[in-house]
Structure 1
Amino acid sequence: MEVTLNGYYTLILATLVLLLGRFLVKKIKFLEDFNIPEPVAGGLVAAAIVYALNLVWGYSFTFNQALQTATMLMFFASIGLSADFGRLKAGGSPLLIFTIVVSVFIILQDVVGVAMASVLGLDPLLGLVTGSIALTGGHGTAGAWGIVLEEQYGVVGATTLGIAAATYGLVAGGLVGGPVARRLINKMGLKPAPVNANQSDVEKLAGKQSLYSTKHNEDGDNRHEEMFEKPDNIRLITASSTIESLALFAGALAFADLMTIVAQGTAFELPTFVWALAGGVIIRNALTMVFNFDMFDRAIDVIGNASLSLFLAMALLSLKLWELTDLAGPVLIILLVQTAVMIAYAYFITFRIMGKDYDAAVLAAGHCGFGMGATPTAIANMQAVTDRYLPSPKAFLIVPMVGAFFVDIVNATVLQIFTKLPF
């Protein structure tokens, strides 16, 4: 029996999924320790219930697609509206170098995914799903590209597989980042910070913290630490700032809609959500660089995070878990290989190129976090290391900026190229 739900009922169920996810994350330590997002925790339970209803009584559900699409576009527009290229200057050459290191890994991740899928007899496009779509991209990117692959390329189960792979990546990224950094640090002979540090150690730590505070003052705020990696932080926004921000979102979405139509059938034909991201980037940097406009980032942050949560909740409600039955074995093999590649890359490439010092080891742990999972996993990995050894202001400046903003822009570009290749 087919049950169709309009936008009102879809929104009600999505908010119930989010409330369930919040409850589960608070009550189950594993979910909290590995930074499993609330929409994912609640959504997977909801997807299991939908699967049981289909299996036992034959019920299937159709949710309002327009609402899901709108929240997805809002989320990607928020990434673009937050991507201030002026911050590249604040991060200096290490930020640019780390962005390049991450970009090369995204390409490698997709090459491995496509190659493994072909070897195992799967659609090569499923290799992209188990590559940077789900792993570097996370749940939001997995849901967005899953819809594109299903509707435009006929890849059955792409969304379901993407959500499952992204969930695996969150756990795997949280498991491997700390050990990689600890092994690198031990090779350098650096011991854990003692509980009662001597005066020299205290002065060194104080100097590093002072540098960190100065950097924050130069930047004007520490917004880059508070964006998508800390969605539950309280943001002080006003009605007028919200209206201004919604106008910017509307501009980005209008640009996406227009460019989707104009570019159709040309070499510049892109998924609408990529144009939404691009529109946000153009509006953000045009307003700040040309007109010196003061963007209200806190409102953009709140709208973006709320949109992502609702989109994920609706995407998970729409999952068809029965589509994964035949893919489970081969997909697990691909994900295990991807994990090994991530460890090797962080250990031998990220660490060496970023300077082969303590900061580079912490950056390697962070790269494992968002290279397999998401920025919150990267932050948790780095905190686990710095709590045991020394602070790393450099790593905590670079990783949130690259993980929350620039990596999505690079990933969207790389994926667009890969989907056009003749597999």
Structure 2
Amino acid sequence: MTPAANSFEVPDFLTLTLGLLVYFVGVIVTRNVAFLRNYNIPEPVTGGFLAAVALWVFYAATGQAIGFEMIARDRLLVIFFAAVGINARLSDLLAGGRALIVLCVLTTIFVFLQNVVGTLGASLFGLPSAAGVIMGSIALVGGHGTTIAWAPAIAAEHGFPAAVETGAAVATLGLIVASLLGGPVAKYLIERRKLAPKVAADHAEAAAPQADATTIDKSSLMYALLMVNIAVILGYLAHKPITELGVKLPLFVPCLIMGIVLSNTIPLIFPKLPWPARKPSLTLISDYALSAFLAISLMSMQLWTLAEIAGPLLIVVAVQAIVAVAFIVMVLFPLLGRDYQAAVLSAGFTGLTLGATPTAIASMTAVTEHYGPSPNAFIILPLVSAFFVDIINVIAIKLFLAF
């Protein structure tokens, strides 16, 4: 797409380089601001938001919008989820089966609740009922991708011509709110109940890996990257036939699946073959991909588009955030068991329902870096977001649009 005359598009390689720079800005600022550290705000969120504000100031001063090519960012996303899959052990997933089921059920309830709040907001401010779904699960649970998919049809068929602009603005606001709320929600739950990682062995494993895996060298890093790349390639190959069957899944989903398949078959078939799961090299690759992805995603937000949002949208998004936090504290956390994993998943659920899966993972990462590991949470939440949320969201959207 050709950029507009008053805009400039940053080439892909430079976008990645700026994303790395923005991440380190976030690291420096977070280290020097106690509030950001204490409330588990991820470094790429800090840096990305500051960069987005700086670009807004530049736009206000010059009238020139700066956009970014996103090829590298999208590749980082599939690399991250492939690494998550490789880290997955089916034994861990089976152990966390109850939490997975509970999270699926509560996510279903919340998707419908979110659309109820959006619909009430639309009615209160005299907007078409379809605007309520846009300000509900389409833009918040669904994010920018779901908004792009649904908003044009709503604009054409449901009497809401501003659907695209409204959805994009609400999705952007949701991303910001989710980035800022996940850590504080978990902090409140953990410190209120004095929670800690439940299984001491898990903590020991995370803090002190096996002797042959305590260091990262060239070979171990390249070997882990090779396995991640193989999972990504298999994910690409699986994505096309899945799409042809009429199942719409984001590309990272089959990459996650292939990582899980590889990690739970290769070590059994070739027991003497070293495997990178839960080794420092794979952790390094995963952390790099997530941090760079999130920094680029947040720095590329065009915040000046939010300046044109009418008051009703801001109010509805604020109410959605309040409802989400209340639901997490009073319903989700207790039903998940009120333990440490429930608190970590609560941070992730904030991102899942208001922002995006990478935001959820980043919030959980910041929490676990502060308080201790919760490996099952990083398997449970991506599975819910990958397989379950999109299906439930489609059903909810269709029902609310029909009635």
TM range (shorter): 0.7 to 0.9
Give 3-state SS (helix, strand or coil) of 1:156's partner: helix
Render the CA deviation track for 1:72-99: whole Å, top value 9, x for unaligned. Answer: 111121111111113346xx4xx33233
Which residue identity does 1:299 align to in structure 2?
A: S
Normalised to the residue count of structure 2, the TM-score between the two structures is 0.76
Q: 1:24 aligned to 29, 37, 40, which one?
A: 29
Query: Structure 1: which 5+ residue stretches go unaligned?
Result: 134-144, 186-207, 228-233, 352-359, 384-395
Query: Structure 1 pair 306/99, CA: closer, same or farther in 2 (3 Å)?
Result: same
What residue number does 2:156 align with? none
What residue number does 1:3 align with? 8
Query: Structure 1 pair 59/125, CA: closer, same or farther in 2 (3 Å)?
Result: same
Which residue identity does 2:109 align to in structure 1?
A: L
Q: CA deviation at 1:346?
A: 4.4
Q: CA deviation at 1:69?
A: 0.9
What residue number does 1:149 align with? 146
Contact 1:6 1:64 in 2 (8 A): yes
- Asked whether 1:168 is paired with 2:180, we answer yes
Query: Structure 1 pair 82/255, CA: closer, same or farther in 2 (3 Å)?
Result: same
The equivalences for 1:10-409 within 5 A come to 10-88=15-93, 92=95, 95-121=96-122, 122-124=131-133, 126-128=135-137, 133=141, 146-154=143-151, 155-157=167-169, 159-174=171-186, 176-178=188-190, 181=193, 215=201, 222-223=205-206, 236-292=215-271, 293-297=273-277, 298-324=280-306, 325-326=309-310, 327-346=313-332, 348-351=334-337, 360=338, 362=340, 364-372=342-350, 374-376=363-365, 379=368, 383=371, 400-409=374-383
Q: CA deviation at 1:55?
A: 2.2
Query: Structure 1 pair 157/79, CA: closer, same or farther in 2 (3 Å)?
Result: farther
Contact 1:117 1:126 in 2 (8 A): yes
| Whole-angstrom CA distance in 2 between matches of 1:48 and 1:74 | 28
Contact 1:76 1:277 in 2 (8 A): yes
Query: Structure 1 pair 372/344, CA: closer, same or farther in 2 (3 Å)?
Result: same
Render the CA deviation track for 1:340-364: whole Å, top value 9, x for unaligned. Answer: 111111465334xxxxxxxx55555
Q: What is the percentage of aligned positions where both structures have the same residue? A: 20
Q: CA deviation at 1:278?
A: 1.7
Contact 1:47 1:321 in 2 (8 A): yes
| Whole-angstrom CA distance in 2 between matches of 1:418 and 1:346 | 18
Query: Structure 1 pair 296/130, CA: closer, same or farther in 2 (3 Å)?
Result: same
Query: Structure 1 pair 304/126, CA: closer, same or farther in 2 (3 Å)?
Result: farther
Give 3-state SS (helix, strand or coil) of 2:181's partner: helix
| Whole-angstrom CA distance in 1 between matches of 2:366 and 2:19 | 24
Contact 1:99 1:402 in 2 (8 A): no
Normalised to the residue count of structure 1, the TM-score between the two structures is 0.72
Contact 2:10 2:68 in 1 (8 A): yes
Which has the higher mean CA deviation after the structures are superposed, 274-283 or 151-160? 151-160
| Whole-angstrom CA distance in 1 between matches of 2:383 and 2:292 | 22
Q: CA deviation at 1:9?
A: 1.6
| Whole-angstrom CA distance in 2 between matches of 1:130 and 1:341 | 19
Contact 2:50 2:299 in 1 (8 A): no
Query: Structure 1 pair 248/379, CA: closer, same or farther in 2 (3 Å)?
Result: closer
| Whole-angstrom CA distance in 2 between matches of 1:88 and 1:43 | 33
Give 3-state SS (helix, strand or coil) of 2:336's partner: helix
Render the CA deviation track for 1:102-146: whole Å, top value 9, x for unaligned. Answer: 333332332322322232223525433776x4xxxxxxxxxxx64
Contact 2:86 2:259 in 1 (8 A): yes
Q: CA deviation at 1:246?
A: 1.9
Query: Structure 1 pair 242/17, CA: closer, same or farther in 2 (3 Å)?
Result: same
Give 3-state SS (helix, strand or coil) of 1:62's partner: strand
Q: CA deviation at 1:168?
A: 3.4
